[in-house]
Amino acid sequence: MKRLLGYLKEHLCVTILAPLFKMLEASFELFVPLVVASMIDVGIGHHDIGYLWKMGGLLILLGIIGFSFSITAQYFAARSAVYTGKSMRSDLFAHMNQFSYQEIDQVGTSTLINRMSNDINQVQNGVNMFLRLFLRSPFVVFGAMFMAFTVDHKAAVSFVFTITALAVVVGLILWITMPMYKKVQKQVDGVLKSTRENLLGIRVIRAFNRQRSEEENFRLQSRQLYSKQIHVGKISALLNPLTYMIINLGIIAILWSGGKQVDLGYLTQGQIIALINYMSQILVELVKLANLLIILSRAFASLDRVDQIFALEPSMKETGKTDIEAKKDTPILEFKDTSFVYHGARKETIHPFDFAVKEGETIGVIGGTGSGKSTFVSLIARLYDVTSGRILYRGVDEKELKPEFIRGKIGFVPQKASLFEGSLRDNMKWGKEDATDEEIYQALDIAQAREFVDQKEQGLDFRIEQNGGNLSGGQKQRLTIARALVRKPEILILDDSASALDFATDARLRKAIKENTENMTVFLVSQRVSTIRNADHILVLDDGKIAGIGTHKELLRNCEVYKQIAASQLSEKELQDGMQSEDRKTEDIKSETIKTEERKEAISAKTAEQEVRSDV
Ligand code: ADP
């Protein structure tokens, strides 16, 4: 609420002028019944055509003035509401942008989109209607009563009764329907959420022939919404007949008592008409007021939900060191007793572990689905903060570093390749804003995406559709890898990013990365043993625990989990080769050493012989 008032204050002038102009419009409206009364009493009563023309002209003038005030008021109200909506939307967007993955997981993307769109629209609409009606409606109700009192103070009694009865009926209906409208709003949220999920997953839904069950699901949701709306609609529909009934009873009372007064000569016919007109004005305004209250209750509920998002503090501050002293022989990354628990999860997703990575090393990360591979690499890029323990980047705790700084050192290729609408060049420049075409082509070469780009007539100007809709899964993956490589990161993280590539392209990609990225530390997350078998170290994850760390051969010997994964993917021969490759290497080294020793001995024997000869 405080925030909303802040926005309104920013545009104080239009915010104040809107209700003021509405009040001016209402004041002119209050004179109309008096003019009509005098037209009846004087113009018609005395057959004074000239007077009727004059008063008719006055009515038109009042109408024009009222209309221009009304238009001006609505313009100011709309401006203030649109300003408020715009400012709130931009501030909310900026606030959401500071959220770490933790908060995004907690709230959910659909909810965030709903807050940004539907909820802020409700608030905007609420502000608009409030500025237009919050002064006008009570002003007309009490103004009409006052005017009626000036016409005939006895008639005021029927007005008091009628207004009280109207207020009770309107209040009662609102009291019953307001909580129902809140439920309807919640249901609308549900329908929007399921629509969004459906549209996003439309390909999968079609591929699995789930259209019918999804349709059924949607129908169920909208049926619930329909029945809730009908239920609340039926109760709200009572508003009109009940209020009209009360007003008509009030009019009957006026006619009944007024009629006698007219006969006695205390009141004129015109005055009776004026009283009836005031009664009708009150009715119209009370109905408007009831609608305003319904709109306001929705707007307040939405404002509350928007405020809840504003109240959610980003757990990761965008502050910290942006410069560190490079120490020699310090590992580029060190995990010290590092562990992680997702928000709301009961157990650790990553159990405490220690591990150090030297610059230029390639680290393979393998494990079953859900074993924690993606979570592990997300921690490196500080997409989440570790729950306990530390991750050191060149000896400095990542929590002391500005997230932007550490992310700038990392080229992160997430599991789900996502590209943005725009040219291929623009997408590549996400990695490095000032990247030249040459740098982009280099990255495309390494990522094995050059050939496919060359096939496109437009080259780097090729237009990518929203979310890369006009590209295949493998093409998207290669482009996202190229995008990460453009910035020549110190650490490259490929989170199962080559899963859609065939084995040969995957192998070429790894070879190209190895050959072209000197000193780059690479994390290769994969389910394929063939992808990570040549890594300097392989981390084997099993249900969030490190089941083993070592080379392919070491793990084949002493890590049961790795052995099982390898056995399910490699042939017997490949397994044997893997076990023996190191042995063969050791044998080779041994025989090389023996040969060297023999050579050395031969040389020293020769030298001794020469020495003996020279002595002789
Ligand atoms: P992997 O990459 O090995 O398939 P993940 O790191 O994606 O595994 O997931 C590890 C575990 O963490 C899984 O049990 C998964 O359900 C859970 N998990 C993943 N992401 C989230 C999240 N955003 N919120 C809560 N739990 C999550």
Question: Is the CB of 369 inside a 6 Å radius of any atom of ligand 1?
Answer: yes
In the reported structure, the alpha carbon of residue 330 is separated from the centroid of ligand 1 by a whole-number distance in angstroms of 31
136-150 as b/e, with b when 16 or more CB fall inside 10 Å?
bbebbbebbbebbbe
Q: CA nearest 144: which of 249, 15, 250?
A: 250
Could you report the per-residue pLDDT of 305-317, keeping only the tens digit for each? 899 999 998 888 7
Q: Name which residue leads in pLDDT, 613 or 432.
A: 432
Q: Which mutation among 375, 385, 496 tests ligand 1's pocket best, with the greatest number of atoms within 8 A of CB?
A: 375
Token pair in block for residue 525: 């997350």
In the reported structure, the alpha carbon of residue 259 is separated from the centroid of ligand 1 by a whole-number distance in angstroms of 81
In the reported structure, the alpha carbon of residue 600 is separated from the centroid of ligand 1 by a whole-number distance in angstroms of 58
In the reported structure, the alpha carbon of residue 372 is separated from the centroid of ligand 1 by a whole-number distance in angstroms of 6
367-388 as b/e, with b when 16 or more CB fall inside 10 Å?
beeebbbbbbbbbbbbbbbbbe
Phi first, then psi, for residue 421 (nearest 5°) are -60, 130
Question: Is the CB of 348 inside a 6 Å radius of any atom of ligand 1?
Answer: no
Number of helices (H), then strands (E), in the chain: 23, 12
- Separation CA 477–CA 447 (nearest Å): 9
Phi first, then psi, for residue 339 (nearest 5°) are -145, 165
In the reported structure, the alpha carbon of residue 369 is separated from the centroid of ligand 1 by a whole-number distance in angstroms of 9
> Order of strands across the sheet with 388-393?
350-357, 333-340, 388-393, 396-397
Token pair in block for residue 418: 């996502």
Question: Is the CB of 359 inside a 6 Å radius of any atom of ligand 1?
Answer: no
Percentage of the residues of the chain whose pLDDT score is greater than 90? 21
CA 22 to centroid of chain Cα atoms: 37
Are the CB atoms for 331 and 216 separated by under 8 Å?
no
Ligand 1 atom closest to Cα of 541? Answer: 3
Give the confidence band of 569 by pLDDT, cuts at 50, 70, 90. confident
Across the chain, mean pLDDT equals 84
In the reported structure, the alpha carbon of residue 413 is separated from the centroid of ligand 1 by a whole-number distance in angstroms of 17
Token pair in block for residue 510: 């790894």
Are the CB atoms for 471 and 464 separated by under 8 Å?
yes
For the chain, the farthest-separated pair of C-alpha atoms sits apart, in whole angstroms, at: 166
Q: Which mutation among 340, 350, 374, 561 tests ligand 1's pocket best, with the greatest number of atoms within 8 A of CB?
A: 374
Could you report the per-residue pLDDT of 319-345, keeping only the tens digit for each? 777 788 777 778 899 999 999 998 878
Answer yes or no: is pLDDT of 82 > 90.
yes
In the reported structure, the alpha carbon of residue 550 is separated from the centroid of ligand 1 by a whole-number distance in angstroms of 24
Q: CA nearest 493: which of 413, 598, 407?
A: 413
* Interval 548-573 mean pLDDT: 85
Could you report the per-residue pLDDT of 471-506, keeping only the tens digit for each? 888 888 889 999 998 888 899 998 887 777 777 888
Question: CB neighbours of 461 closer than 8 A, spacing ≥ 6?
Answer: 423, 424, 425
- Separation CA 54–CA 50 (nearest Å): 6
Question: Is the CB of 378 inside a 6 Å radius of any atom of ligand 1?
Answer: no
Answer yes or no: is pLDDT of 614 > 60.
no
In the reported structure, the alpha carbon of residue 54 is separated from the centroid of ligand 1 by a whole-number distance in angstroms of 81
Could you report the per-residue pLDDT of 222-245, keeping only the tens digit for each? 899 999 999 988 988 888 889 889
Answer yes or no: is pLDDT of 431 > 80.
no
Q: What is the pairing mode between strands 491-495 and 410-413?
A: parallel
* Interval 133-140 mean pLDDT: 87
Question: Is the CB of 574 inside a 6 Å radius of any atom of ligand 1?
Answer: no
Ligand 1 atom closest to Cα of 544? Answer: 10
Residue linked to tokens 């979570």: 375
Q: Which mutation among 107, 349, 365, 416 tests ligand 1's pocket best, with the greatest number of atoms within 8 A of CB?
A: 349
Q: Which mutation among 342, 369, 385, 539 tests ligand 1's pocket best, with the greatest number of atoms within 8 A of CB?
A: 342
Give the confidence band of 193 by pLDDT, cuts at 50, 70, 90. confident
| CA distances in angstroms from 228 to 185, 192, 221, 303, listed in the order given | 10, 16, 11, 22
In the reported structure, the alpha carbon of residue 532 is separated from the centroid of ligand 1 by a whole-number distance in angstroms of 21
Question: Is the CB of 349 inside a 6 Å radius of any atom of ligand 1?
Answer: yes
Give the confidence band of 591 by pLDDT, cuts at 50, 70, 90. very low
In the reported structure, the alpha carbon of residue 375 is separated from the centroid of ligand 1 by a whole-number distance in angstroms of 6
Question: Is the CB of 374 inside a 6 Å radius of any atom of ligand 1?
Answer: yes
Phi first, then psi, for residue 437 (nearest 5°) are -60, -35
Q: Whose CA is nearest to atom 27 of ligand 1?
A: 342
Answer yes or no: is pLDDT of 596 > 60.
no
| CA distances in angstroms from 524 to 163, 324, 360, 364, 396, listed in the order given | 75, 26, 13, 5, 23
| CA distances in angstroms from 72 to 15, 33, 284, 298, 323, listed in the order given | 12, 24, 21, 26, 56
Q: Give me the torsion for CA of 530, 531, 535, 541, rounded to 10°.
A: -90
Answer yes or no: is pLDDT of 123 > 80.
yes
Q: Name which residue leads in pLDDT, 208 or 33.
A: 33
**Which range has the top average pLDDT, 108-122, 199-213, 455-469, 497-511?**
108-122
- Separation CA 269–CA 263 (nearest Å): 10
Question: Is the CB of 108 inside a 6 Å radius of any atom of ligand 1?
Answer: no
- Separation CA 182–CA 298 (nearest Å): 7
* Interval 444-463 mean pLDDT: 84
- Separation CA 481–CA 467 (nearest Å): 15
- Separation CA 89–CA 467 (nearest Å): 23
Q: Would you call 592 exposed, middle or buried from its count of C-beta atoms within 10 A (0-12, 13-18, 19+)?
A: exposed
Alpha-carbon dihedral sign for residues 536, 400, 409, 505: positive
In the reported structure, the alpha carbon of residue 544 is separated from the centroid of ligand 1 by a whole-number distance in angstroms of 9
Answer yes or no: is pLDDT of 584 > 80.
no
- Separation CA 549–CA 353 (nearest Å): 11
| pLDDT value at residue 179 | 85
* Interval 544-551 mean pLDDT: 90
Question: Is the CB of 345 inside a 6 Å radius of any atom of ligand 1?
Answer: yes
| pLDDT value at residue 616 | 34
Ligand 1 atom closest to Cα of 367? Answer: 3
| pLDDT value at residue 578 | 66
Q: Whose CA is nearest to atom 15 of ligand 1?
A: 370
- Separation CA 244–CA 239 (nearest Å): 8
Question: Is the CB of 543 inside a 6 Å radius of any atom of ligand 1?
Answer: no
